[in-house]
Every structure is written in C-alpha cells, then in structure tokens.
C-alpha cells in the first residue's frame, strides 16, 4: 500500500474532504492493472522512448489524488518523469492542492514526479488542445435539482461567508440532472483535450447511468474505449461507485495511433 497524502491542512468548510470516491481513485490508479497500463503507455523501454506524460486532474479539491499520483510517480507510471497539473474552479482548492502535493512530494522525494502547479478554471478551459496524456476527474456526480453556477467573485476573496462556503462545497458534489451536467461537458471536451496516447479516469456513481455513459464515449468512433476498471460499495448488485478508463486504440487499417 502506498501512503495516502496528508491533507490535515485543508479547510474542509470550503474544500471537498477526501471520501470513499477519492480513495477508490487512489486504489484503482495504484492497482496492478492500471499501473501496468500506464507504464506500458508512458514509461520508456529499450524499444521505445516515451516523453513525460502531462497528468491533469480536473477538480482536485484537497489535492489528495494529484498528490498521490505525483509523489508515487515511479510506482504508478513506471517513471518519475511525469508532469502534473491541477485545474479547480475553487481558488481555496488550488491553494490546498499545491500544499498537499508539495508535502507528499517531500515525503516521497525518491519516487516523485514534477508538479507544475494548480490553476483556477472551469474544467479543461485553460488547457491547450491535445496536451493531456492522463486526465483524472472525480466530478460533482450527485443528482441534484439545480446545478450551482461557478462564482468568479466568491473565490477572489480570502474571507468567505457561510453561504459562500456552502456554495463552494456544492460545486464539488452537485451534478444537476442525473448528476451528469458537469461530467457531460468534460466528456464532450475529451476528444479535443487528450493527446493521441491520452487516457482519462472518470468516477461515476450508479445514478449517472454508467453503462449509457460508456456507450456514448464508444460512439465517438471505432478507436474509443471505455471500460470500468475499479468499483466500490456494491449494494443489491449495483456498484455504488466506479472508475471508468477512457482511451483510444489504433484500429486496423488506420495508421494514426
């Protein structure tokens, strides 16, 4: 078991506290199936040179997942040569992520990759097209009647009211219709965001209708794959939470990878 990053400094009144979903991402991304997949794609071997992947976490919140990936790069990606970046709509989450990552990297200096920083933004809005090799998203997936609007104003202040804190937290979990309104925007942006060798890890709950979500991604085209690679919380035959890996495979007769 790789150590879980310390998040004791994170202000949980306004930043999402690591929970079952976060830990499912840690378990899945460090499982042999995924470290094998990631190393085969992103670590160099005698027969191929793989430039360092850009690992982007969208909505890192406390930063626990991004810190885990950065600190344990050598174990998870088979190489320390990775670059990591976080984009969060909540400025407090950006500050928290930066500290969580730097603490974890200090603890595991011999296996750690390079953290670029955390920027405040809406999903992949600030990221250059085709730049992302590994995207991780633990979305606001809870079905809710209303979708909270990202508040450009709130996050600019260092002091917040209780209502503003509640709004920031709502942004981290409230997903609107089917809990999919924000995730659907991210999925729509994937073809333009991921590099040719890129892949994405997306967390879904049962209420998100994961089988339909995976089918929608496969419908992007014959290269696209979407498979469940981690699950937790089985209740009455339904997986409460699952991680879907999304990637492209070259298809026969197609020279592009």
Partner 1 sequence: MKVLTLNFLSCAVKTCKSSSDSFPLHPKEAELAKDDVEINPQLLVNVLPRIDWAALRTTSTELGFPTLPDQPPTAEELEADEKMLQELHTLLMEMQIVEGKLVCGHCGHEYAIREGIANFLLPSHLV
Q: Which residues contact partner 1 by CB under 8 A? A: 44, 49, 51-52, 54, 80-81, 83, 85, 87, 89, 91, 94-95, 98, 114-122, 125-129, 131, 150, 152, 155-156, 192
* Residues 81/88, Cβ–Cβ less than 8 Å: no
Query: Cβ(184)–Cβ(155) under 8 Å?
Result: no
Question: What six digits make up the tokens of 199?
Answer: 């892949």
Name the minimum Å distance from CB 52 to partner 1: 5
Exposure string (b/e) for 47-60, b if CB count within 10 Å is 16 or more? eeebebbbbbbbbb
Q: How far is the CB of 54 from partner 1 (least distance, A)?
A: 6
8 Å CB contact between 55 and 85: yes
Q: Which is nearer to partner 1, 156 or 163 (CB)?
A: 156
Specify the residue, 150 or 207, whose C-beta has the smaller distance to partner 1: 150
Q: How far is the CB of 116 from partner 1 (least distance, A)?
A: 4
Residue 9: which residues within 8 A CB-CB, separation 6 or more? 96, 99, 100, 103
- By beta-carbon proximity to partner 1, the closer residue of 156 and 252 is 156
**Residue number, 7 or 195, with CB nearest to partner 1:** 195
Minimum CB separation of residue 30 from partner 1 in Å reads 22
We find the least distance from the C-beta atom of residue 247 to partner 1, in angstroms, to be 19
Residue 82 or 203 having the CB closest to partner 1: 82
71 vs 241, beta carbon nearer partner 1: 71
Q: Cβ(4)–Cβ(50) under 8 Å?
A: no
Looking at the DSSP bridge assignments, the partners of residue 55 are 84, 134
Q: E strand or H helix at 124, and its extent?
A: none
76 close to 69: Cβ distance less than 8 angstroms: yes
Best CA proximity match to 177, nearest among 212, 208, 206, 138? 208
CB of 201 to partner 1, least distance (A): 19
């Amino acid at each position: 078991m790789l150590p879980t990053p310390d998040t004791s400094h994170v202000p949980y009144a306004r930043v999402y506290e690591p929970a079952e979903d976060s830990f499912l991402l840690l378990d899945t991304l460090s499982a042999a199936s995924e470290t094998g997949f990631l190393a085969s794609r992103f670590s160099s071997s005698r027969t191929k040179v793989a430039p360092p992947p850009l690992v982007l976490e969208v909505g890192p919140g406390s930063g626990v997942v991004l810190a885990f990936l950065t600190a344990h790069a050598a174990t998870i990606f088979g190489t320390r040569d990775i670059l990591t970046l976080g984009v969060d709509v909540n400025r407090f989450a950006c500050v928290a992520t930066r500290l969580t990552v730097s603490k974890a990297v200090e603890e595991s200096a011999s296996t750690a990759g390079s953290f670029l920083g955390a920027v405040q933004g809406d999903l992949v809005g600030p990221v250059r097209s085709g730049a992302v090799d590994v995207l991780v998203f633990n979305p606001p997936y809870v079905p809710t009647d209303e979708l909270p609007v990202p508040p450009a104003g709130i996050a600019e202040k260092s002091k917040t009211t209780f209502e503003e804190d509640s709004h920031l937290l709502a942004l981290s979990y409230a997903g609107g219709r089917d809990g999919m309104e924000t995730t659907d925007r991210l999925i729509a942006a994937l073809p333009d965001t991921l590099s040719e060798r890129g892949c994405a890890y997306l967390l879904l709950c049962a209420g998100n209708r994961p089988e339909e979500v995976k089918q929608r991604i496969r419908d992007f085209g014959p290269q696209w794959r979407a498979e469940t690679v981690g699950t937790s919380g089985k209740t009455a035959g339904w997986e409460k939470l699952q991680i879907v890996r999304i990637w492209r495979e070259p298809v026969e007769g197609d020279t592009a990878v």
